[in-house]
Structure 1
Amino acid sequence: MVSSTNSASSGDYEDEISSPIQSVISEFGQLPLAGTTVANQSHLDASPDTLLAMVLDVIVKSRPISHNLTQKTINHLLDEGYHHIDILATTTWEERTKVLEEGGYNRYREQCATYLGSLSDIVVNKYGMSRSIGNAFAPYYDGMLRYGLLDGDLNNLLQSAHGDREEVRTLMKEFKGVGDLGVELFFNNVQSVWPSIAPFLDSRSLQTAEEIGIGGDLNAIYGALGKEPEQMSLLANGLSTVRLEKKKV
């Protein structure tokens, strides 16, 4: 881990690593969910749909399957509208399995279909309107769900965690299929819209940063990026590309 001893040396170090950081971002940096129907190439916001898409992304990518295949699968899930909680929550296990199979996600499709069902239950019941409707409305739950009157907003997860990264980590691991790796991948992306998570690089990207001369001082890296959370997300995804595709910087 690289550290600085005073503000002057910290500034010098930020200048030193700025060039390789900008090379990674300019050549390989991508916004979260790049290439999908959800992504806006200029900006993302913390909408419920965007956040749910980010969780779908990490559930799919947490399994030991090729990067290209998982990307194809997440594209198909989003094309089918699964990042809209009112759509995901009304799917059956069989429907989810079929959509995953159509996306090419064959080896773990049945397990993943179960995970997606559990995800929708938690998002609706813990982070949606149903948190406050009470037992008096229970007989009307199915009808409310059918007509899109129940929602789910993962911004409520951040609020429940009081904006604390480690509390968010604990709550994220309540989603089946999301382990330590999945949380790290989620943090790579969500810091772009939840600034309290920044600065963050997943452990494998941090190792890549050290290998290509950027070093492992997150605060210095963040300083070199002007403490811009979206830039940190671009760097994290760029470093992942460097590692996965064995790119030269």
Structure 2
Amino acid sequence: MSQADEVRDLLAQHGRTFATDAGITLRDTPSPLFRLLVLTLLASTRISADVAVATARELSRAGWRTPRRMLESTWQQRVDALGRGGYRRYDETTATRLEALCIRLVEDYRGDLRVLRPDSAADVDRLRKGLTGFTGIGPVGADIFCREVQAVWPTVGPFFDRRALAGARARGLPVDPARLAALAPDGRVANLAAALVRVA
């Protein structure tokens, strides 16, 4: 099988981004970017991706699609929503972290993550530093956010984190990000990165 065929097969079987699975139609606007940040926080804990995705959907269903709306919720309401999503082991800690995330987002970035959008690939480190400034989001969480957001912030890409590159290596694909991205049809780099993480 050629590398191009391998990529087409990967995309057909596993090419949905985690944001899509969480019901987030990613756009370069504040609400979807906030929802992606929440998903990133949820996925940064030692919990399955499926539970993080289901919980992100539950928080959106509760109407908390902006930091200000989430700040209107009580700690107990957040704990209950996290539990409904299956996020039980870390529900109390995460309910507190969600509040801290929203406060920082409002106070430091006026509720709009586009303040962190890099102008070029050289600025991605600034984005990563901003992301890891949120309590509960470390380097792995920053990787998750960058992997997904490159669909709407092309200057972040091509972004393949360690897990995605491990998936590429396992499938006999290039581990150079530019060469790997060139195999993604129609610019579906974020989808390819998500597929590679799933098979890593």
Relative to the length of structure 2, the TM-score reads 0.91
Q: Does 1:38 pair with 2:24?
A: yes
Which residue of the other structure, out of 45, 70, 73, is the alignment partner of 2:52?
A: 70
Aligned to 2:190: 233
Rg bigger for which structure?
1
Aligned to 2:8: 22
C-alpha distance in structure 2 between counterparts of 1:212 and 1:65, whole Å = 25
Q: Does 1:224 pair with 2:186?
A: no
Q: Does 1:164 pair with 2:123?
A: yes
- Cα deviations by residue, 1:84-107 (Å, 9 ceiling, x for unpaired): 222112222222112112222111
Aligned to 1:201: 160
Q: Which has the higher helix share?
A: 2
Q: How does 1:104-183 map to 2 (within 5 A)?
A: 104-128=86-110, 152-158=111-117, 164-183=123-142
Can you give the 5+ residue segments of structure 1 that lack an aligned partner in the other structure? 1-15, 129-151, 244-249
Aligned to 1:148: none
C-alpha distance in structure 1 between counterparts of 2:142 and 2:61, whole Å = 24
Aligned to 2:144: 185
C-alpha distance in structure 2 between counterparts of 1:107 and 1:55, whole Å = 20
Deviation at 1:160, TM superposition (A): 9.4
Q: How does 1:82-97 map to 2 (within 5 A)?
A: 82-97=64-79
Aligned residues: 199
Relative to the length of structure 1, the TM-score reads 0.74
CA separation of 1:219 and 1:227: change in aligned 2, threshold 3 A: farther
CA separation of 1:179 and 1:225: change in aligned 2, threshold 3 A: same
Deviation at 1:54, TM superposition (A): 0.7
Deviation at 1:210, TM superposition (A): 0.6
Deviation at 1:75, TM superposition (A): 1.4
CA separation of 1:160 and 1:125: change in aligned 2, threshold 3 A: farther
Identity of aligned residues (%): 27
RMSD after superposition: 2.1
